[in-house]
């Protein structure tokens, strides 16, 4: 998928702009801390581009937040997350549904649909946290951990330290459905 806007792109951009404003940060400060150009950040905040997982994570972490903070519901909420109330992040052929409530900090669970050929992007990334477990619920996933390729099929799982450089992609001709379990919550 190209770096063009995707469904929900302008909503994501508006949330990023609001988060930056809440922290009193300039676009230049965030762009520099996230290692993106100010022009790219502007296009992102205006829904003109759809970021990779790595880029979105870097931009939000540059503001001292997690990606999940973009989708916090102020309703308080309890322990149950109804399917209809899942917070969803769309980016470049990937749709992450956050299954854990916003107040969960020790564990994060995502159900992700990855379109054919889509993935985290061409560059390895890592993030704060302890461990990550990835389970392929349906389809196929290629996961690179520290440069080593792992081909996963339906029912396969892989577990690794969050700080391990990694990237992933759906090599198949149909969407993949994947479950991510991350400790502590860091997305």
In this structure, what CATH number is given to the domain that contains residue 55?
Answer: 1.10.260.40
Tens digit of each residue's pLDDT (9 = 90 or more) over 125-137: 988 889 999 999 9
- Are 83 and 118 in a shared domain? yes
Tens digit of each residue's pLDDT (9 = 90 or more) over 85-100: 888 888 889 999 999 9
pTM above threshold 0.85: no
Q: Which structural domain range is residue 89 located in?
A: 76-183
Contact indicator for 89, 55 with CB cutoff of 8 Å: no
Q: What is the mean pLDDT of residues 66-90?
A: 75
Model confidence at 116, pLDDT cuts 50, 70, 90, reads very high
Dihedral angle of Cα 107, 50, 1, 96, to the nearest 10 degrees: 20
Q: CATH number for the domain including 86?
A: 2.60.120.10
Q: Is the pLDDT of residue 155 over 90?
A: yes
**Per the domain annotation, does 93 fall within a domain?**
yes
> Last residue of some domain: 33, 65, 97?
65
- Are 55 and 95 in a shared domain? no
pLDDT on residue 47: 87
- Are 91 and 140 in a shared domain? yes
Output helix, strand, coil percentages for the chain, rounded to the nearest 5.
25, 30, 45
- Are 85 and 160 in a shared domain? yes
Q: What is the mean pLDDT of residues 67-71?
A: 72
Q: How many domains does the chain have?
A: 2
**Per the domain annotation, does 4 fall within a domain?**
no
More confident residue, 156 or 52: 156
Distance CA(185)–CA(146), nearest Å, equals 22
């Amino acid at each position: 998928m190209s770096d063009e806007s995707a469904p929900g792109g302008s909503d994501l951009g508006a949330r990023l702009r609001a988060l930056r404003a809440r922290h009193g940060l300039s676009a230049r400060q965030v762009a520099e801390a996230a290692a993106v150009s100010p022009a790219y950040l502007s296009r992102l905040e205006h829904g003109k581009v759809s970021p990779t997982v790595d880029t979105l994570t870097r931009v939000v972490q540059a503001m001292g937040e997690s990606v999940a903070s973009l989708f916090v519901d102020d309703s308080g909420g309890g322990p149950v997350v109804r399917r209809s109330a899942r917070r969803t992040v769309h980016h470049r052929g990937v749709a992450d549904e956050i299954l854990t409530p916003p107040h969960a900090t020790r564990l994060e669970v995502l159900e992700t649909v990855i379109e054919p050929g889509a993935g985290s992007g061409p560059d390895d990334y890592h993030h704060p946290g302890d461990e990550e477990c990835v389970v392929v619920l349906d389809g196929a996933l290629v996961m690179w951990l520290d440069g080593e390729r792992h081909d996963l099929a339906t029912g396969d799982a892989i577990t690794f330290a969050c700080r391990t450089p990694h990237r992933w992609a759906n090599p198949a001709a149909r969407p993949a459905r994947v479950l991510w379990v991350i400790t502590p919550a860091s997305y």
